[in-house]
Amino acid sequence: MKKIARLFLAPLFGLILFAACKQKPSAEAITAFNSVTPVPVSATLDGGTFFLSDGTSIGISPVNDDTRNVAGLLQDLLRPATGFEFALEPGNKDAGILLELKEDAAQGDEGYSLTVSEDQIRITANKAAGIFYGIQTLRQLLPASIESKSKQDVRWEIATGQITDKPGYGWRGSMLDVARHFFTIEDVKRYIDLIAMYKMNIFHLHLTDDQGWRIEIKSWPNLALHGGSTEVGGAKAGFFTQEQYKDIIAYAQKRYITVIPEIDMPGHINSALASYGELNGGTIVPEEGRVKIVQENPILGKEKNKPTELYTGTEVGWSTLRLEKESSIRFINDVMRELAEITPGPYLHFGGDEAHVTKKSDYIGFVKLFSDIAKANKKILVGWEEIGQGEIDENAIAQHWANVKYAQMAAEKGAKIIMSPSTRVYIDMQYDSLSRIGLHWAAYIEADHAYNWDPATQVEGIDPEQILGVETPLWSETITDMEDIEYLLFPRVTAVAEIGWSPAAARNWENYRTRIAEHGVRWKKLGIDYYPSKKIDWKE
Ligand code: TNX
């Protein structure tokens, strides 16, 4: 070859070689990139590929407890399926994966930016929660096999690109009822993992109800010992000790989830009345037209100040505390003080729903008491929307579930509102009449029905500024184990997660159902027993 030709061709070869190096992403990697759920605020592919390898390390900057925490979670996530080490390299900004906290007011407390280039994955955020959410996105960019618990023979490919993201609502929650049926700490932790994966940040624990009292209260020990001894259907059940409760909270905290503990009062209280006779005000004669008499009601015919029977049925709205009883006031103060002491988060949920046999004047008195007790313990009062009937103010939070009028009353008094409309997000409801578990008093809720609504316009007359966000409750009358929980959660909890996170303009059912079809593959690897809704063309 002539020298001149060599001179001319050499750079060209170099260019070709370079172009060959910028390896195009596979169809799978592109699909993963386009299937991130909740859908990000902005995401653009740029045509290259990044590979995780044996030598990929994790850099953190600055080096502190926050960045160490998220790096540890990332290691836990990536190690089992890849079999790689992902060594932590504090301060190394050139590491294969860099987790970086950087002041950026625009990202707020939970936003992040994720940049995947050919030689580095970089997640930057204003706060550690943002990095955590960036990690949840990164996990979805990898092949579904990343969710396997054993080493997989897979090329760990990620399409390069840029994602900038932050949530629309600051309250993105799910509730688990551990009162009707009790669940183990392992189940509760898995529940937390599952909702964290979809960037939810609130875990509401419904700790007490007619059928069970599930939290140790040291000053009233019988509540848990006796009141927690059984559950719906009559099986032996249990409760969380305060130490176990703290363990759950710490587990959630590490995943940037706030636990909202609920003690349901003044109704839904039989487990307490069965544990301490002094709380029982005796047979209740309901005010005209307010409630149907529940035949097996353990209060009916029960003498005042005698403990009621434990209840294992599923009727609601027939038990109550009495405001005139000194013991009621002492009980509520003691319980909430102890609960406040073991709850680092700012909220206490006092229930307040379906108090059908509570005298209206008593109910108003109880709400006032709840406000005072919340304030005395430096906590924010949360209650179901019925508390809107009482004296509440802008410091309270009301949770809308059924009666628009009560939600509006709460909003008019300045309270903040959480949206949990039962016809959309009560995921204890059956999908359709064939669902093997679930109730249907509110609606049959298929995946599209859980998705196609907007918290900002759900209840007329509520200023969108007052709406904190969304929460999907899972009541447990019909469910007994993790398999049941997962069947009802997926694919609906992901719909609620997206409503809470993604901007309204970016939410679209057709687009969501294509993305979720891909997630089914991930759920299988995670051992999630999801409901194979016919509304979605699941991928194998
Ligand atoms: C209504 S929602 C209830 C719960 C039940 C649920 C069953 C609410 C505040 N109260 O006590 O478990 O329906 O779907």
- Distance between Cα 230 and ligand 1 center (Å): 19
- pTM here? 0.95
Tokens of 48: 């290259």
Nearest-atom number in ligand 1 for the CA of 268 is 11
Provide the 3-class DSSP secondary structure of residue 365: helix
By the 8 A CB rule, do 71 and 99 touch?
yes
- H helix runs in 346-452, sequence order: 360-376, 404-412, 422-425, 447-451
Sheet containing strand 112-116, strands side by side: 42-51, 157-165, 112-116, 121-125, 97-101, 58-61, 88-90
**In the predicted structure, residue 172 carries a pLDDT above the cut 70:** yes
Nearest CA to ligand 1 atom 13: 475
**In the predicted structure, residue 20 carries a pLDDT above the cut 70:** no
Question: Residue 499 — pLDDT band, cuts 50, 70, 90?
Answer: very high
Nearest CA to ligand 1 atom 12: 475
- Beta-carbon contacts of 99 under 8 Å, excluding residues fewer than 6 positions away, are 58, 59, 60, 61, 67, 70, 71, 74, 123, 131, 134, 135
pLDDT digits (tens, 9 = 90+) for 419-467: 999 999 999 999 999 999 999 999 999 999 999 999 999 999 999 999 9
Nearest CA to ligand 1 atom 4: 475
- Distance between Cα 119 and ligand 1 center (Å): 51
What share of the chain in percent tops pLDDT 90? 91
- Distance between Cα 534 and ligand 1 center (Å): 27
Q: What is the average pLDDT score of the chain?
A: 94
Residue 280 CA to residue 306 CA, distance in Å, equals 6
pLDDT digits (tens, 9 = 90+) for 177-186: 999 999 999 9
Which residues have C-beta atoms less than 6 Å from ligand 1? 316, 353-354, 384, 401, 426, 428, 439, 475, 477
**In the predicted structure, residue 1 carries a pLDDT above the cut 70:** no
Nearest-atom number in ligand 1 for the CA of 428 is 14
- What is residue 332's predicted lDDT score, i.e. its pLDDT? 98
Which of 204, 265, 316 has most ligand 1 atoms within 8 Å of CB, for mutation?
316
Which helix or strand (DSSP H or E) is residue 522 part of? Answer: helix 509-525
- What is residue 4's predicted lDDT score, i.e. its pLDDT? 55
Peptide bond into 266 cis (omega under 30): yes
- What is residue 22's predicted lDDT score, i.e. its pLDDT? 74
Which of 204, 475, 477 has most ligand 1 atoms within 8 Å of CB, for mutation?
475
pLDDT digits (tens, 9 = 90+) for 245-261: 999 999 999 999 999 99
DSSP secondary-structure letter at 452?
A: S
Core vs surface per residue 101-114: b (16+ CB within 10 A) or e: beeeeebeebbbbb
By the 8 A CB rule, do 400 and 459 touch?
yes
- H helix runs in 108-183, sequence order: 128-141
Nearest-atom number in ligand 1 for the CA of 180 is 12
- Distance between Cα 205 and ligand 1 center (Å): 14
pLDDT digits (tens, 9 = 90+) for 338-378: 999 999 999 999 999 999 889 999 999 999 999 999 999 99
pLDDT digits (tens, 9 = 90+) for 111-126: 999 999 999 999 999 9
**In the predicted structure, residue 13 carries a pLDDT above the cut 80:** no
Known catalytic residues? 354
Closest to 323 in 3D by CA, of 331, 335, 313: 331
Nearest CA to ligand 1 atom 9: 353
Among the residue ranges 152-166, 289-303, 340-354, 382-396, the one predicted with the least confidence is 289-303
Nearest-atom number in ligand 1 for the CA of 354 is 10
Q: How far is residue 404 CA from its own chain's centroid?
A: 23
By the 8 A CB rule, do 136 and 40 touch?
no
Question: Residue 479 — pLDDT band, cuts 50, 70, 90?
Answer: very high
Nearest CA to ligand 1 atom 5: 475
- What is residue 297's predicted lDDT score, i.e. its pLDDT? 76
- Distance between Cα 475 and ligand 1 center (Å): 7
- DSSP string of 32-84? HHTT-SSPPSEEEEEEEEEE--TT--EEEES-SHHHHHHHHHHHHHHHHHH--
Specify the higher pLDDT residue, 189 or 297: 189
Which of 260, 400, 422, 474 has most ligand 1 atoms within 8 Å of CB, for mutation?
422
- What is residue 288's predicted lDDT score, i.e. its pLDDT? 61
- What is residue 290's predicted lDDT score, i.e. its pLDDT? 60
pLDDT digits (tens, 9 = 90+) for 262-301: 999 999 999 999 999 999 998 776 666 666 666 667 776 6
**In the predicted structure, residue 79 carries a pLDDT above the cut 60:** yes
DSSP secondary-structure letter at 283?
A: S
- Distance between Cα 332 and ligand 1 center (Å): 21
- What is residue 11's predicted lDDT score, i.e. its pLDDT? 55
Nearest-atom number in ligand 1 for the CA of 384 is 9
- Distance between Cα 533 and ligand 1 center (Å): 24
- Beta-carbon contacts of 106 under 8 Å, excluding residues fewer than 6 positions away, are none
